[in-house]
Amino acid sequence: MKIKTLSHLSSMIVAAMLSVGCDAAKKDIVVEQSQDNSYSSSWSNIKDGHYLGSDLWANPVQDWRIKNGELECNVSGGERNIFLLTKSLNDASGNFDMAVTVRPLAEFLAQPTKGYVGFRLGVNGQFNDYRDSAVHGRGMKVGIDSKGTLFIGKQEGEQISLNEQPIRLHFTGTTEAKNSALTLTAFDANNQQLAQLTRNVASSVVAGGTGLACHAGDNRTREGMPFQRGKTKRAGNIGFAFSDWTINGDVIATNADRTFGPIAFSMYTLDKNTMKMTAQMLPVPKEAGTQITLELQSADTKTWQQVASSTMVDDSRTAHFSIEDWLYKQDMPYRIGYQMADRAGNTSQHYYQGKISKEPEIGSQLKVASLSCHLDLGFPHQDMVSFIDSHNTDLVLFTGDQYYEGNAGYGVQKAPLAAANLDYLRKWYQFGWAFRDLYRDVPSVFLVDDHDVFHGNIWGDEGKAASGKPGADIQDSGGFKMPAPWVNAVQRSMTSHMPDPVDPTPVKQDISVYYTDLNYAGVSFAILEDRKWKTSPRKALPDAKIKNGFSNNLDWDAKESGDTAGLNLLGERQMNFLNEWAQDWSADARMKSVVSQTLFSSVQTRPKSDIINFKDRGMGPVAVGDYPEEDITVQDFDTNGWPQTPRQNALKLMRKGSAFHIAGDTHLGVTFQYGIDGWNNGAWAIGSPAISNTWPRRWFPKSLPLNYVEGQPRNLGEYYDGFGNEITVKAVANPTVTDIEPVRINQRAPGYNILTFDTAAQTLKVEAWPRWVDPQADDASQFKGWPMTFNQKDNGYPSNGHVLPTISGLSKSGAVIQVENQQTQEIEYTLRFTGETISPRAFSDGLYTVRLYNEEMELIKTLADQRTQK
């Protein structure tokens, strides 16, 4: 193996790495985890920065830090809190006590506002998962408010004075039967009691997770409403430092395996015998150590051998590895290592462990999960994750919107740059916390979409800086709202583990690119960036009066006036790449697929009354069997249905390679075929349902499809989309009324695709699964209309076209055939055929040049003047 990293080459050559049959343990390994029912904070040993330890989750990450051995909430705002991952309180009979020292920050004392500091207990989320409790859970508040008043929930007690001196808050509880007796006591620095408050509550109020809080705002507590969060804006003037947090008691439960970090997760790909991996770190400070190692396990001795080392990139908190000549025909356990230094100079070793799975053999089946659009409603989606995992996929595609701006709460922080980096990272961490086990042991592909870079919609305009008023105005102007270094950090986090870009030349503002191709198990994927070069419609079409991606001029129609000259979709560089990729069947590629953020058609309808400044009027879920009669097709400029001519040209290039198209973004599960100057002659497109989303989209066209047959569903068949593009809709998963909990999620028809590439038969099986269905259950069923199976040649190959002379004597494994129209001098397609005898087809009558290539695209024979036959 040849080993490369972004920092330096390892001197170790992994000659002893042979096939391993065991599966690496799926857990984080942290040194010296305590298993007892006590807890003591370690902040005094942690280097200054925003990493608080692997046993804590901070809400939000950027507003909490370690400074001089204390934990500080140094940004004033509502609902600032931390959650202890490894300890919780049960509702058994017994005792507990917890204590923490709090010290008002000087800036708070200058002009205090409403708020409080203290404990949280009984912190529970909606989905019986500690991660949900950490991010969304609420519970009882206990502490001291900014006036110095002690309180336990709604009950208030004595008032003490707040000054620069630390206060020790000691909170105890005794649970008997169904009741808990609680006592909060405040002590000064000399351990003299200042005040005390007692209260009896139901033991169920106490049971659950626990944490600390520093809240700016009204101290009113809404007991009995654990799933509703208060106001979280940055406001007020409340700030405290915490130290020496201790917990003890026989009702304390320990879950040592619930730590998170300092290595959050990893992602990797295998391509052309090269393995690339990204290690995603939590926000560990540079002073704690920046070297990240990669180790592989020997099959013979079961020992770990370091094969590479990489320096953490600070803004994205990532480390990167690249190893050539990978032994891809075997499983290879790996572990990522990080040695962390504390304030005293002592070090602790941490690992994150997984497996590089052997690449499925060419000629076998490659099973791919396709997902997009992760709203944290339903986080951590454990039921869905387990259902996807049960398919035993070989590759995972996340086609964008791994998070939304509102995910994890606390709004969006766009400045200063360091805090903005932490803001995207906390949302990215949350995504990985939920889904990392889906891609820990298999390759993964990630695309960066609009919400990932804090846009509702984005037209990249080749990377220019967006300008305009906040809101729709600035994003409609085209370009990127966030600073280029921030955009690059996001892209580095999500895409740096993929094969190197075809052309790494940055676009404007020095924004990086990542479009590339991935060859895995006989399937060649073209990975596109369909946002980065796209023209802004508001700039190009002033008469349309574009707002938030939609025309606000009812007298203007994109079908008639939207396809003007000089518009960009993929940009010249990606078009050249797509053209070359369509002709390249090397690396023994048997099938081809394009992967992009969004579909190349606007497959959606809305009520006519809601066509301007969408307010979701009439867009609720529809009862099964009902049909909204007022819906019309929509011209959504955020889709790639526009601009029409660049869209048609891109589809022609896809057809040159008979490629399937996989995308997400629209929230609507749909499978349809593109038309190119007619119907049923382009690629089949697979749009994945959203993982979780509340923005509604649906397909209920008012008119019947062309060639409608009585009795078929009204919304399936041959249509024009809103931009006048020809599409043939095969199946669609519209939002429908349901009583399946949680209803708010499931009424939007969320789910995922499972795509099975059979590289021997050259077929693709498309499955569309609702997120609430256990695929292993006896009565498991997919969305109506799925599964369906297509042949590679169904993507626009002229199966019924003119026949060219038969070619015989080929290898049983087939050959690559390229057909060029001699009149136009255009290559019409390049396709791998199977069988010893082939009769190629052509789109029209005439003379053609036919070229034969072997598996590595070496030219074997050129047959000129091949005339079509009737």
pLDDT in tens, 420-431: 999 999 999 999
pLDDT digits (tens, 9 = 90+) for 654-690: 999 999 999 999 999 999 999 999 999 999 999 999 9
**Residue type at position 140:** M
> 58 near 184, Cβ under 8 Å?
no
Handedness of CA 703, 705, 710, 716 (dihedral sign): negative
- What's the burial of 491, exposed, middle or buried (CB within 10 Å: 0-12/13-18/19+)? buried
Right CATH for 2-30+264-356 from 2.40.10, 3.40.1620, 2.60.40, 1.20.120: 2.60.40
835: phi then psi, degrees, rounded to nearest 5: 105, 160
Of 223-237, 383-397, 667-681, 830-844, the poorest mean pLDDT is in 223-237
Q: What is the 3-state secondary structure (H, E, C) of 732-785?
A: EECCECCCCCCHHHHCCCCEEEEEEEECCCCEEEEEEEECCCCCCCCCCCCCCC
Side chain identity, residue 685: A
Separation between Cα atoms, residue 230 and residue 79, nearest integer Å: 7
Residue partners of 858: CB distance under 8 A and separation at least 6: none
Q: Give the pLDDT band (50/70/90) at residue 615.
A: low
pTM exceeds cut of 0.75: yes
Q: What is the pLDDT of residue 1?
A: 52
Identify the CA nearest to 374 among candidates 287, 294, 447: 447
Q: What strand order describes the sheet that includes 717-720?
A: 516-520, 523-527, 591-595, 660-663, 684-687, 669-674, 726-733, 717-720
CB 827 within 8 A of CB 583: yes
Question: What is the 8-class DSSP label of residue 257?
Answer: G
Q: What's the confidence (pLDDT) of residue 611?
A: 73
One DSSP character per residue, 848-868 reads EEEEEE-TT--EEEEEEEEE-
For residue 614, the model assigns a pLDDT of 59
Sequence-distant (6+) residues with CB within 8 A of 292 are: 263, 279, 281, 309, 310, 311, 312, 319, 336, 337, 338
User: Rounded to an integer, what distance in angstroms lies between the CA atom of residue 120 and that of residue 108?
Assistant: 21
Buried-exposed string 722-758: b where 16+ CB fall within 10 A, e elsewhere: bbbbbbbbbbbbbbbebeeeeeebbbbbbbbbbbbbb
Q: What is the pLDDT of residues 286-317, one digit of tens each?
A: 999 999 999 999 888 899 999 999 999 999 99
Alpha-carbon separation of residue 89 from 34, 84, 123 (angstroms): 16, 11, 10
Alpha-carbon distance of 834 to 762, in angstroms, equals 9
Distance, CA of 667 to CA of 375 (rounded, Å): 11
Between strands 365-371 and 347-356, the pairing is unpaired
pLDDT at 223: 61
Amino acid, res. 13? I
Per-residue HEC secondary structure of 597-622 comes to: CCCCCCCCEEEHHHCCCCCCCCCCCE
Take residue 816 and report the two structure tokens written for it: 């690559």
In this predicted structure, the answer to whether residue 16 has a pLDDT above a threshold of 70 is no
Instruction: Give pLDDT, residue 222.
Output: 59
Report the DSSP beta bridge partners of residue 195: 186
Q: Report, as an integer, the average pLDDT of 174-200.
A: 95
Q: How confident is the model at residue 230 (pLDDT cuts 50, 70, 90)?
A: confident
**For 437, phi and psi rounded to 5 degrees?**
-70, -15
Which residues, at least 6 apart from 108, have a Cβ–Cβ distance to it below 8 Å?
76, 146, 237, 238, 239, 240
What percentage of the chain reaches a pLDDT higher than 90?
86
Q: Where are the domains of the chain?
A: 2-30+264-356, 39-258, 365-794, 802-867
Residue 582 has pLDDT above 70, yes or no: yes
* H helix runs in 586-693, sequence order: 644-656
Tokens standing for 199?
């209260």
**667 neighbors 689 (Cβ within 8 angstroms):** yes
- Which pLDDT band holds residue 83 (cuts at 50, 70, 90)? very high
* Burial state string for 384-394 with b = 16 or more CB within 10 A and e = fewer than 16: bbebbeebebb
Pairing mode, strands 591-595 and 660-663: parallel
Query: What percent of the chain lies above the pLDDT cut of 70?
Result: 94
φ/ψ of residue 190, rounded to 5:
-95, 15
- Kindly report the backbone phi and psi dihedral angles of residue 131, in degrees, each rounded to the nearest multiple of 5, phi listed first: -70, -40
Contacts for 615 with CB less than 8 Å, ≥ 6 apart: none
- By mean pLDDT, which of 209-223, 457-471, 489-503, 528-542 is the weakest? 209-223
The topology under which CATH files domain 365-794 is Purple Acid Phosphatase; chain A, domain 2 (3.60.21)
Closest CA to 496 of 274, 264, 263, 278: 278
Residue 281 pLDDT: 98
28: Cβ contacts below 8 Å, ≥ 6 apart: 54, 257, 259, 260, 261, 263, 350, 351, 352, 353
Q: Same fold for the domain at 365-794 and the one at 802-867?
A: no
How many helices and strands, by DSSP H and E, does the chain display? 12, 49
Q: Indicate the SS3 state at residue 243.
A: strand
Q: What is the pLDDT of residues 476-512, one digit of tens each?
A: 999 999 999 999 999 999 999 999 999 999 999 999 9
Q: Between 484-495 and 417-439, two packed helices, what is the crossing angle to 10 degrees? A: 10
Distance CA 414, CA 420 (A): 5
Residue 692 CA from chain centroid, whole number? 11
Dig out the tokens for 14 from the structure: 């992994």
CATH of 802-867, one of 3.40.50, 1.10.10, 2.120.10, 2.60.40: 2.60.40
CB 1 within 8 Å of CB 328: no
| Burial of 560: CB neighbours in 10 Å, binned 0-12, 13-18, 19+ | exposed
Average pLDDT of every residue of the chain? 92
Distance CA 373, CA 692 (A): 7
Three-state secondary-structure class, residue 395: strand
DSSP codes, 438-478: HHSSS-EEE---TGGGT-SS---GGGPBP-SSTTHHHHHT-
Q: Is the dihedral of CA 706, 707, 713, 716 positive or negative?
A: negative
Least confident of 18-22, 577-581, 791-795, 814-818: 18-22
Choose the weakest-confidence range: 5-14, 50-59, 346-355, 494-503.
5-14
Rounded average pLDDT over 828-832: 96
Residues ≥6 apart with Cβ < 8 Å to 626: none
Q: Tell me yes or no: is domain 39-258 CATH 1.10.3720.10.
A: no
Q: Give yes or no for residue 631 having a pLDDT over 50.
A: yes
Q: What is the structure's pLDDT at 25?
A: 38
Task: Phi first, then psi: give them for residue 544, nearest 5 degrees.
Answer: -75, -20
Average of pLDDT values for 207-219? 93
DSSP single-letter state for residue 692: B
Alpha helices in 144-263 (DSSP H): 203-206
- What are the tokens at 238? 């409340």
